[in-house]
Amino acid sequence: MLVGVDIGTTNVKAVAVDAAGVPLTAAERRNETIVPNPGWSEQDPEAIFQNVLAVVQAVIQHPSVLEHAEPVQSIVFSAAMHGLLAVDAAGNPLSNVWLWSDLRADAAARALLAPEGLGTEIYRRTGVPIHPMSPLCKLIWMREHMPELFGAAHKFLGIKEFVWFRLTGKYESDLSCASATGLMNIWENTWDEEALRIAGIASEQLPALVPITGLANFREVENFPEVTHAVIGASDGALANLGAGAIHPGQLAVTIGTSAAICCVVDAPLVDDAMRTFCYRLDEKRCIIGGASNNGTSVLEWLRSSVFRSDLSSEQFVNQAFEAPIGANGLLVLPYIQGERAPLWDARATGAFVGLTSLHSQAHFVRAALEGILFNLKIIAEALPQPINTLHASGGFSNNSGWVQMLADIFQTPVMLDESSIDASVAGAIQVGSLALGLKHLNLNLQPKKILPNIGNATAYQETFQRFKSALSREGMGLK
């Protein structure tokens, strides 16, 4: 039996599968995000660790798992990227974990991007676009604005590295998560000396780098079951490609949850001259390239709760969109309510309603928001070097058939959708776990379904997409 654990921004999830790869049960716990100041975004690492313990305990103690009477051979991990926290010599947190959505380091990022800065050179070696999401920029900010915290830190970790230390006693980071810090040379798979110099830290203050199949033994932890092996796993983005089956040329993984991303797998590092895309490690040989947006379903939740103060459920609210026509009768939503990573790479970007008239209803707003989120991903896809022949959809949005069909229609590309309800990142983690243990490739009992694009909608979506890009330019958010 294997258990995959995904430490996401919104939730911590766990799935248990038997020796044949058949899912037995799943559990999740919600993470609370703290906003102590505008633009800051943090979570309590201790609370996240307790959520990890809770979901593992929940799946292992579930009746469907107990009935199998199989020992748990391994727990393997997936996690969100770009987080940063400081710990003391005992591994106790000195700070909250600063999330990918934390924008406090914007000035540090802009300084690196100035003509006299080293941002472009650092990007070419690390594959991480210069942006306040990057732990590199966060470290610069911490050194300048919280020198006591910076000086007291024994190690700087991401959330998975913190959980890994608490469970195994080892300060280690897999190549995938490490490559998203802006501190690792993706060509050599080592910490980058120039990036460390800019950050003001030594390599000894970072975890040791290990393969994504890295094994360890669990130390004794209260409320944690007896398990044979721990497998360190990889980043949620890389594992989403693996779990969704998007690992061949022309196959792109599209994930939309709180944030959104579109990316593909390549056989060697590949960076973009205009710094439009990221390049992170999937494993020792392969990389994923693409772009991640700050603005996914969070835009819809903001519309529902803050703008319209709707009593509708999230599903009911989204389904209003399909009452409105393609293009929402001229209404566009530029969905940048939380700044933006790809494709703008501008933490100060703001959202906008464009083309608004008295004829527009709530349904038009929702429709325009769904379209805007997907148009943003389409712009990212245009910067990728591969022609697209298939999209592999995962994340919360994939549960809405209308939105998935919209994705197929906007890209005019077939969409592969797994209807087994297994999170793609968790599925990828379980595959890594089986590889680490030398087990046969697990099928995971996935249930793929192909959604074909409606050719009749191509022209209307293409015209709306061109208006979206023109609106970006008019709003002063020109693309690189």
Reading the chain (480 residues) residue by residue, the pLDDT tens digits are 899 999 999 999 999 998 888 889 999 999 999 999 999 999 999 999 999 999 999 999 999 888 887 888 899 999 999 999 999 999 999 999 999 999 999 999 999 999 988 999 999 999 999 999 999 999 999 999 999 999 999 999 999 999 999 999 999 999 999 999 999 999 999 999 999 999 999 999 999 999 999 999 999 888 787 777 899 999 999 999 999 999 999 999 999 988 999 999 999 999 999 999 999 999 999 999 999 999 999 999 999 999 999 999 999 999 999 999 999 999 999 999 999 999 999 999 999 999 999 999 999 999 999 999 999 999 999 999 889 999 999 988 999 999 999 999 999 999 999 877 688 899 999 999 999 988 866 666 667 899 999 999 999 999 999 999 999 998 877 565
As given in the structure block, the two tokens for residue 29 are 């716990």
pLDDT of residue 224: 80
pLDDT of residue 318: 98
pLDDT of residue 49: 97
DSSP at 52: H
For residue 445, give the 3-state DSSP assignment.
Answer: coil
Whether the ω angle into residue 385 lies within 30 degrees of 0, i.e. cis, is no
**What is the C-alpha separation between 134 and 129, in angstroms, rounded?**
8
Question: pTM of the predicted model, to two decimals?
Answer: 0.93
- Within the chain, how many helices (H) and strands (E) appear? 16, 23
pLDDT of residue 423: 85
Residue 380 near residue 262, CB atoms below 8 Å: yes
Give domain 2-236's CATH number out of 3.40.50.300, 3.30.70.1400, 3.30.420.40, 3.40.50.12280: 3.30.420.40
How far, rounded to the nearest angstrom, does the alpha carbon of residue 121 sit from its chain's CA centroid? Answer: 24
pLDDT of residue 99: 97
Residues, the chain: 480
Residue 143 near residue 152, CB atoms below 8 Å: no
3-state SS of 79-136? ECCCCEEEECCCCCECCCEECCCCCCCHHHHHHHHCCCCCHHHHHHHHCCCCCCCCHH
Nearest to 177 by CA among 96, 97, 254, 297: 97
**What is the C-alpha separation between 371 and 465, in angstroms, rounded?**
9
**Buried-exposed string 247-263: b where 16+ CB fall within 10 A, e elsewhere:** beeebbbbbbbbbbbbb
**What is the C-alpha separation between 253 and 260, in angstroms, rounded?**
11
pLDDT of residue 116: 87
Q: Where are the domains of the chain?
A: 2-236
pLDDT of residue 20: 81
**What is the C-alpha separation between 314 and 204, in angstroms, rounded?**
46
pLDDT of residue 220: 87
